[in-house]
Chain A
Amino acid sequence: MIKEALNTMSDLWSLMVGLRVTKKYFLDPQVTVRYPWKAVSNIDSYKGHLMLVGGKKDKGLAKCISCGMCAMACPSNCLTVVKRKAPKPTPEEEQALAEAKAKGEKPKDKTPKDPEKFLYDFTLCSLCGTCMENCPVGALDFTGSPYLAGYSREDFHFDLVQVLKNQAAIEGVDESAAPEAGQSEA
């Protein structure tokens, strides 16, 4: 009888101990952030969708050499690299080519190496990074953005060459207009 009562007491005590923890955390500051007004800051290492890396001189021109290693390595076939076609040689160039051929030299390929189109289907991508690891020139990278959203399937089909160009254009404008923008904001 006494044992039973003691047991009941210890059982009730276990509930009190739990409530003490609840009270402690109830008074603690909030650990979550209210998203649209405030965002988390730990997204630096996050892997978002792919992007092409621009060259050092011209940020709008991709480093990519259109070798197609990424498309071959991709497990989900979400990449398509469209190579540039060789430009139509001018009459002078044609003549030079013919001369070179006559001498037995191999004509130099003057086709620009950067891709005409770099089609990327984000709906298929699993963000594994295999393409990045297999790129011989380091022309691919992940954007750190987790906020990509769209209304339709087509919103996730990118031409990364175009994306890079737009990005560079925006950045170029930003850099030149930076002081003004800063003043107007202030």
Chain B
Amino acid sequence: MTRYQNMEQLTGDFYTQNFAKTAREGSLILNLGPQHPSTHGVLRVIVELDGEYVMRAEPILGYLHRMHEKMAEVKTAAQFIPNMGRVDYGHAMGWNWAFVGAAEKAGGIEVPERAEYVRVITCELNRIASHLLWWGAYLLDLGAFTPIMYAFDDREKILDILQIPTGSRLTYSYFRIGGVAQDLDADCIRRIREFIPWFRSRLPMYKDLVSDNIILRKRIEEIGVIEQDVCRRYGATGPVARGSGINYDVRRAAPYSVYPKLDFEIPTSDLKCARGRYDVRMAEMEQCLRIVEQCLDMMPEGEVLVKGAPKPSWKVPKGEAYFAVEGARGKIGAYVVSDGGKNIYRTKLRAPGFCNLSLFAEVSRGTILADAVAILGSLDLIIPEIDR
């Protein structure tokens, strides 16, 4: 006999009632979110607790569903680009690139070489900004308030740089089919060159301030161990997979743009715990700086938008194309199917956060509730991206 025998008397919506069906006697069912600060937006997780221990957890999605894929069906390809900045506000450039890349592949459009370098530079700077945002917010979750101030000090500098070519500070709509909207001007390049050594000098400070701190180490070491087979089963990518020792990065596994010409490492960690994912992201910021530095040296002069670039009324030729890029959270994919009509017939967006979140149910089983929140944060979730 279970405590939740009389289902009709139970409060809660469909999800809670369904979840409660298999609950054990004496356990507590708790809704974490959808308005909980530690869930970074509107993620809802139903947990079954035995005292402090999580017996079962189930993420429930859809509170921030904005029909981006459907909107792609009522707009032309060029008109859909502004949407991509809104899918993931953390790493908008990556999403810009994924969709634009897929459209270019379907249309067989070549991108000028300078535009490729500009894309890499802006994408990598955006990746640093995204990791800084995660770093600050994650430590905020864990109860450390000031780190986010340091992170935003640096992030602000990147936003200032990216504001020059893009004109916006968060939801960039910068890439165009066949290039980018504007060239990096001399002022922008000078600022990037100044930023690189400055941010390099900040990284040891981050290490002293937080990474080596014993309180953080005791907090995130050995919690949320994700085995490699779990990563593979759920399709986890990005720092979550690399934190478990899987050396998978789209920039190396399926190289695109000018990444094969660049010399950089893919940081991995064998710790498999939340600390591993933390280390991977911190190491990745340094690699981003290396990439940007090389790109600035190698960047040729020339056009940034191909001649005769598609107008808004441009129709994607009949066919299909898939293009994947490495985002700050993992593999971002855009799949475009066109029947040759005015609008794209179907667009599928592969969000890395969706796969990374889905393994949470398995990983959080048997942990303490406070640890479960720390694990959730270590996955670097951006809810708008998960729900799309």
Contacts and interface: CB of A to CB of B under 8 A. Distances in A.
Interface residues of A, number: 28
Contact-size category for B: 20 to 34
A127 B167 contact: yes
Given A11-B214, A25-B150, A73-B312, A129 B167 contact: yes
Contacts, number: 74
A128 B86 CA distance: 11
Given A45-B167, A142-B167, A14 B213 contact: yes
Nearest to B187: A45
B216 to A, nearest CB: 9
B150 A75 contact: no
A15 B173 CA distance: 42
A24 to B, nearest CB: 8
A130 interface: yes
A16 B205 CA distance: 13
A31 B78 contact: no
Instruction: State the majority secondary structure of interface residues on B.
Output: helix
B1 interface: no
B95 interface: no
B132 interface: no
Contacts of B79: 73-75, 130
Contacts of A47: 167-168
B330 to A, nearest CB: 26
A17 interface: yes
Contact of A17 (B83, B163, B173, B212): B212
Interface in B75-94: 75, 78-83, 86
Contact of A31 (B75, B153, B213): B153
B93 to A, nearest CB: 14
Given A31-B153, A72-B312, A75-B79, A128 B209 contact: no
A128 B213 contact: no
A123 to B, nearest CB: 15
A144 to B, nearest CB: 9
A75 B80 contact: yes
Contacts of B82: 75-76, 126, 128, 130
A108 B86 CA distance: 47
B205 A21 contact: yes
Contacts of A171: none
23 contacts: A21-B205, A21-B209, A22-B146, A25-B150, A31-B153, A45-B164, A45-B165, A45-B167, A46-B169, A47-B168, A74-B79, A75-B82, A75-B83, A75-B312, A126-B171, A127-B167, A127-B173, A128-B173, A129-B181, A130-B79, A130-B81, A130-B312, A134-B312
Q: Nearest 6 pairs between A and B by C-beta?
A: A47-B167, A75-B79, A128-B82, A11-B214, A73-B312, A128-B173
Interface of A: 11-12, 14-15, 17-18, 20-22, 25, 31, 42, 45-47, 72-76, 126-130, 133-134, 142
